[in-house]
Amino acid sequence: SQQGEEDPQALSIQEGENATMNCSYKTSINNLQWYRQNSGRGLVHLILIRSNEREKHSGRLRVTLDTSKKSSSLLITASRAADTASYFCATDAGVGANNLFFGTGTRLTVIP
Amino acid sequence: GAGVSQTPSNKVTEKGKYVELRCDPISGHTALYWYRQSLGQGPEFLIYFQGTGAADDSGLPNDRFFAVRPEGSVSTLKIQRTERGDSAVYLCASSLQGAGTGELFFGEGSRLTVL
């Protein structure tokens, strides 16, 4: 299966701290995406990083990608209570593929 | 509205019944995806359409599940002879061209409960 796995499964931090979530996947990819899901809601796209990129920033988000290790990390800096949600990485199946497979998710709780 | 719309938002049915779930994607999006999400799990891929055709239906769990997109816009996921194990949130997403080039936009999901 192409599906990725996030680590840790759950993370609890204080407001203002940084949160780091990791994702590992199994096969070659064209791009890797991170999504956020509030409880009972649909998923919202956060950031996309292509296989030829190593790092990408968007506001308080920083994503890294190491294709040699088939892993990615999502860093949320200066966390807020509103960041409380589940975070998923998603990978395609390589160049030319348009399908997207999701990982198991990290449940982040930010304590005010 | 400009987003992906899914109906119904909640569906309770009895074991053995037939269910249809509808997805209205963002206008102009050629790619449409169906996922199933159980509590505490990530979305599980079911089927992906490019236009009117199913580009990949390898995630459909068995022949009780079927999906159509006859005009390349609205899609319907059909589940026959529902079982209690089919209970989950069914998510639909659309994309301008496909996940290989860009992000997916998700609906709020249809929560199916099979009693």
Chain A CB contacts of B41 below 8 Å: 104-105
Decide if B6 is inside a domain. Answer: no
Domain ranges of chain A: 5-111
Ranges of chain A with pLDDT below 70: 1-3, 95
User: Alpha-carbon torsion A2, B99, B40, B47, what sign?
Assistant: negative
CA dist., res. B107 & res. B21, Å (int): 12
Decide if B84 is inside a domain. Answer: yes
Class of A5-111 in CATH = mainly beta
Contact (CB<8Å) B108/A41: yes
Ramachandran area for residue B98 (φ above 0: left; ψ -120 to 50: alpha; else beta) = left
Mean of the per-residue pLDDT values of chain B: 94
How many folded domains does chain B comprise?
1
CATH value at residue B54:
2.60.40.10
Decide if B8 is inside a domain. Answer: no
Phi, psi of A13 (to 5 degrees): -135, 165
Contact (CB<8Å) B44/A95: no
For residues A72 and A63, is the Cβ–Cβ distance under 8 A? yes
Closest chain A C-alpha to B65 CA, distance in angstroms: 19
Q: For residue range B68-103, what is the model confidence (pLDDT) as tens digits?
A: 999 999 999 999 999 999 999 999 999 987 777 788
Closest chain B C-alpha to A80 CA, distance in angstroms: 22
Residue B34: closest CA among A87, B25, A7, B15: B25
pLDDT of residue B1: 54
Q: For residue range B22-74, what is the model confidence (pLDDT) as tens digits?
A: 999 999 999 999 999 999 899 999 999 999 999 889 999 999 999 999 999 99
pLDDT of residue B68: 97
